[in-house]
């Protein structure tokens, strides 16, 4: 896992692991490399987040679950329409209609794909929730 802090407010940081499954990955990577986030090496107090970025198919569900369970005490972010509901592929038989069928999702991010700043906003909200 890599910890990222907001360049504008380094007290807000999250550890990020991503399931980079499809096109949403590109926007996630754009966010991580955008300059709005900096990689930090010190152990921070912000939450750990697993970002499911892209279409999940039923065949892939065991692998996604294994990834999530191998990082206990992490929050799951459903990044983009496919992870949230199946997105444009909702009617396709192999596609899972939303990862919240099998995991608890802490943050849903709308978009197809979401813009990088949507990811920034999502981690700000996840950090804020933690603080409460």
Residue 132 binds other proteins (CB under 8 A): no
> Is 36 or 41 the residue whose CB approaches other proteins more closely?
36
> Is 35 or 93 the residue whose CB approaches other proteins more closely?
93
The CA-atom distances, in angstroms, between 20 and each of 8, 10, 12, 53, 67 are 26, 25, 23, 5, 12
The nearest distance, CB 96 to other proteins, in angstroms, is 12
Encoding tokens for residue 117?
Answer: 């700043």
Give SS3 for 118.
helix
The nearest distance, CB 40 to other proteins, in angstroms, is 22
* Spatial separation of the C-alpha atoms in residues 102 and 54, rounded to whole Å: 16
Find the binding residues for other proteins in span 35-94 (CB under 8 A): 81, 84-88, 90-93
Residue 108 binds other proteins (CB under 8 A): yes
* Spatial separation of the C-alpha atoms in residues 108 and 130, rounded to whole Å: 16
Question: Which of residues 20, 34, 48, 121 is near other proteins by CB under 8 A?
Answer: 121
Residue 36 backbone dihedrals phi, psi, to 5 degrees = -80, -15
Residues of this chain that bind other proteins (CB under 8 A): 81, 84-88, 90-93, 98, 100, 105-112, 114-115, 117-118, 121-122, 125, 129
């Amino acid at each position: 896992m890599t910890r990222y802090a907001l360049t504008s407010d380094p007290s807000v940081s999250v550890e990020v692991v991503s399931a980079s499954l499809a096109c949403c990955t590109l926007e996630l990577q754009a966010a991580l490399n955008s300059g709005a986030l900096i990689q930090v090496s010190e152990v921070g107090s912000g939450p750990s987040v697993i970002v499911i970025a892209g279409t999940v198919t039923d065949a892939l569900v065991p692998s996604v679950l294994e990834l999530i369970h191998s990082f206990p005490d992490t929050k799951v972010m459903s990044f983009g329409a496919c992870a949230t509901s199946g997105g444009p592929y909702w009617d396709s038989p192999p596609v899972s209609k939303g990862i919240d069928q099998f995991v608890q999702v802490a943050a849903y991010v709308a978009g197809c794909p979401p813009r990088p700043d949507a990811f920034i906003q999502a981690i700000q909200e996840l950090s804020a929730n933690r603080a409460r």
